[in-house]
Structure 1
Amino acid sequence: MSPTGTTGAASRGATRAALAILAVAQFLLALDYSIVYIALPSVGNEFGLTESSVQWVVSGYAVFFAGFLIVGGRASDRFGPRNLYIAAMLLFGVSSLAGGLASDTAVLLVARGFQGVAAAMLQPAVIALINTSFEAGPARNRALSVWGTVGASGLAAGVMTGGLLTTVSWRWIFLINLPIALLCILGAPRLLPKETAAPRRDTTLNVPNGVLCTGTVLLAALGLTQASSRGWSHWSTLAALGTAAVLLALFVLRERTSERPLVDPMVRRTRSLLVGCGSTALYMASVGNMFFVVTLLLQELRGYGPLSAGLAFLPMAVAITVANSVAARLVDALGVRLTLTLAFLADAAGLLMLAFQVRGDSYVADLLPGLLVTGFAHGVTYVVMFIAGTADVEDRNQGVAGAMMTTAQYMSGALGIAVLVLVLGTDPGQDDFGRAFVATAVAALLGAALAWFGLVRTSAARSGPETAGGTEAGTGPRQEERLS
């Protein structure tokens, strides 16, 4: 083999290795979000927690994850995504160990909070590393497809793994993270590409704006969580949401007047990114929150045990994986706009199938078809919404762009859970679960409308390197999206 060929093969091998370790990190984040669902009754029994208290094992992670994402994105752009990846993974491993060894509720909830902060640092670093390592177009689409295969599957694998591990001890849902985190920490210095330039000293963190942003999201997520457990009219819900509204107003004011805002004005004007944020929000409100409804349906209405409930998600996980693997090809053939629209429509169809079959007792005849349809559509949606949202963002803002999309995703998750809790009521029956599935299907239909009408003027991928901030700016070469 020629030296050139040897170099090319080595480069491809290094790129694949980097993508593999990034996909593993994304799997860990997705796994940790959903793995606790089936373990909640066991955790509540050991610590004597009420239903409204035990939900904080989930919410403690989600609130801090959503709250620190924008700051995490800017930190990635400021210090370099590779450096932040290593630091965040170390914090994630330590907090997972603390959660697994927790002797009381306070220690467990603090550990979950630190897991959320670590995830908020890690998520934008992973997205930035992918988007800066692969040129916009088919190469990046394939990389995002691989990343999405592992990441989206992690949500389904979480409930399955949680059911299996809970039969031994709920503590293993945290301890299982340790070998994965250690693998990523040891492999990152060798496998992830070195920063092509020194960390950007001009990308300041703007601490006051960061505090306002984090406080806004934290209090909004807290208010939504309180709404799901105590109601929308409870004083704690109103206080949290009201304070969040005040902080949001102050944040917007400072962002408009600051010389170095937390979110670059060019990023805020990138239409495809705004559509991407909306897509991640509606994705989470539909098939993302479906896990919550199905888990309750299986355990409370159908009487499944933790292991059986976890295994019930196995066909869906397989469908997600298959869909992730073909998502990039669908984009190449149909374009981003049509692919994302059809994926959301398929999401809605699968959720309506579950709604109409909720009275049936057969898993194979009544639940499995809807799980397979939503699983496949889920996998395509997950990949394509990130392709659409980040395609027109320049490299130096990829961290904060990924953080914006993920913040929208998990804030929508908190709002969606609050709405679903109200729909289900305190003692949900078959009709209540049917209405819950219909509510998620409506969110999917809104996602289809947003993708079709919002992506009219955006690019599917650009043929050259990203040299400017987006479609509206009109700078940088691009490959126009194929709509047929």
Structure 2
Amino acid sequence: MAPSGTGAAARHRSANASLAILAVAQFLIALDYSIVYIALPSIGGEFDLTESTIQWVVSGYAVFFAGFLIVGGRASDRFGPRRLFIAAMLLFGIAAMAGGLASGTPTLLVARAVQGVAAAALQPAIIALINTTFAAGPERNRALSVWGTVGASGLAAGVITGGLLTTVSWRWVFLINLPLAVVCALAAPRLLPRIKAARRSTTLNVPSAVLCTGTVLSAALALTQASGKGWTHPSTLAGFAVAAVLLVAFLARERRSVKPLVDPLLTRTRWLMVGCGATALYMASVGNQFFVVTLLVQELRGYGPLAAGLAFLPMAVAIALANSVSARIVAVLGVRRTLTSAFAVASAGLLLLAFQTRGDSYLVDLLPGLLITGFAHGVIYVTMFIAGTADVEDRNQGVAGALMTTSQYMSGALGIAVLVLVLGPAPQQADFGWAFTATAVAAALGGVLAWFGLARPSSPPRPAPAVETVPVTGGEKP
């Protein structure tokens, strides 16, 4: 019989292999959100797209991603995250290929929407697999740090990679996803752990799922319309009205349902709710910073696609560095102080960019702010997921991760709508300064939320008698 140390080493290698494939998958999700930014002018030129149409190359992915996340999270919990991971990864790769080979606008936009749906199934499955493979505490914090090093860097790497690939052809912006998706899907059965699906049922609450998806889709569509056509446009107002009606219907259905789509215990778990708020303010600040910087360097400074992509390289390095040390920072400072400090640093960096928009030097006027915000970005990304999922039991990890990511991308849509309003149709230097200031305010609010929201030890409320008891975890997270 093999020594116990040998078995422990084998389990450690298996866990690391699982983490590697999950990190690559998360990289794809983040990459695909930002990689098309720099390619948009080339895509618009080939298909002769208007400004209001071309934004859907980005928004089509983001809207359907946000719209299907809660359903994806519950599907992960009910049917098992590994099974859903494989199916979603294959769908993601096929949709990416369809987008890269698209001969017209309808095919491209449908492919982007399907990619968003696939990503909505992938994201909660990834978080569930990490949080059920690694025990809460230092082990999970380290795993989230490694995952974040690759995943959060995808947002920055997307604009860099997009700039490089667009110099060859914009189609490679989509086709690059296919080989990575195939490798992940083929490796998953051997490398990912088999986790039992929830015992309560193998049937989704279909009415709640439809109402939930419709609510988020309507709200996301309305926000996208607001950014392109204005807040008072009939299509914007109609979208918000439909979202409000569906939300009321969803809440009423959930209250009456014996098997709700979102476990009521989750909405009473304080650290999860703070985590959702943190992800929203993260995206409204350093997350949407990519949008502002991309416009700044291309439209105001006149950078080409390659130069614009390379301008993000130092920021990507700072994000990766911060991701890799985030678990150590949390171990020393705790979640509350780490997340508060990271948001404060992000706010300072964004204000620095706001005050330096009138300068023309990349090294003096842009690089310092990008490095500061990049490091803060990396720390926030890892720490907010450590906080938000710490007190969630295994059977609800998929939905918990979906709630946080839905908050993130809905905030992203709202943030871009606000930034478009701030920048105006022909943004000048002062407009970019106000846009960076808006993101700095969002980061400052994130710091306030983290400081006061995580002030007391987290202790999730006891479930109602009909629901099985959840172990209570207390104290400041390591």
**8 Å contact 2:343–2:443 — kept in the other structure?**
yes
1:264-343 maps to which residues of 2 (within 5 A)? 264-343=263-342
In the alignment, what sits opposite 1:213?
212
1:392 aligns with 2:391: yes
Q: For 1:409 and 1:232, how far apart are their aligned partners in 2?
A: 21
- TM-superposed deviation, 1:162: 0.1
In the alignment, what sits opposite 2:91?
91
1:403-422 maps to which residues of 2 (within 5 A)? 403-422=402-421
CA separation of 1:251 and 1:482: change in aligned 2, threshold 3 A: closer
Stretches of 4+ aligned residues off by more than 2 angstroms: 197-201, 470-479
- TM-superposed deviation, 1:202: 1.9
In the alignment, what sits opposite 1:471?
460
Q: For 1:238 and 1:480, how far apart are their aligned partners in 2?
A: 44
- TM-superposed deviation, 1:199: 5.1
Q: What runs of 5+ residues in structure 2 fail to find an aligned partner?
A: 464-469
CA separation of 1:222 and 1:21: change in aligned 2, threshold 3 A: same
In the alignment, what sits opposite 1:103?
103
What's the secondary structure of 1:23's corresponding residue? Answer: helix
- TM-superposed deviation, 1:375: 0.2
Q: For 2:27 and 2:115, how far apart are their aligned partners in 1?
A: 14
Q: For 1:53 and 1:256, how far apart are their aligned partners in 2?
A: 39
1:441-480 maps to which residues of 2 (within 5 A)? 441-459=440-458, 470-473=459-462, 476=471, 478=473, 480=475
Task: Name the stretch that deviates more: 311-320 or 201-210.
Answer: 201-210
String of CA shifts for 1:330-380, please: whole Å, max 9, x gaps.
111011011000000011011001000000010000000000000000000
**8 Å contact 1:282–1:412 — kept in the other structure?**
yes
1:6-25 maps to which residues of 2 (within 5 A)? 6-25=6-25
In the alignment, what sits opposite 2:241?
242
For these two proteins, the number of residue pairs brought into alignment is 472
1:427-446 maps to which residues of 2 (within 5 A)? 427-446=426-445
In the alignment, what sits opposite 1:359?
358
- TM-superposed deviation, 1:2: 5.6
In the alignment, what sits opposite 1:467?
none
Q: For 1:203 and 1:141, how far apart are their aligned partners in 2?
A: 31
Q: For 1:281 and 1:482, how far apart are their aligned partners in 2?
A: 21
Q: For 1:438 and 1:264, how far apart are their aligned partners in 2?
A: 38
TM-score with structure 2 setting the length: 0.97
String of CA shifts for 1:159-188, please: whole Å, max 9, x gaps.
000000000000001000011001101100
- TM-superposed deviation, 1:24: 0.3
In the alignment, what sits opposite 1:254?
253
**8 Å contact 2:391–2:472 — kept in the other structure?**
no
In the alignment, what sits opposite 1:72?
72
In the alignment, what sits opposite 1:130?
130
Q: What runs of 5+ residues in structure 1 fail to find an aligned partner?
A: 460-469
In the alignment, what sits opposite 1:481?
476
In the alignment, what sits opposite 1:464?
none
TM-score with structure 1 setting the length: 0.96
Letter in 2 for 1:183: V
- TM-superposed deviation, 1:411: 0.2
1:167-206 maps to which residues of 2 (within 5 A)? 167-195=167-195, 197=196, 200-202=199-201, 204-206=203-205
**8 Å contact 2:289–2:439 — kept in the other structure?**
yes
**8 Å contact 2:387–2:477 — kept in the other structure?**
no
**8 Å contact 2:460–2:472 — kept in the other structure?**
no
1:146 aligns with 2:121: no
Paired-residue identity, %: 75
In the alignment, what sits opposite 1:117?
117
1:32 aligns with 2:32: yes
Q: For 1:39 and 1:406, how far apart are their aligned partners in 2?
A: 25
Letter in 1 for 2:424: G
**8 Å contact 1:88–1:121 — kept in the other structure?**
yes
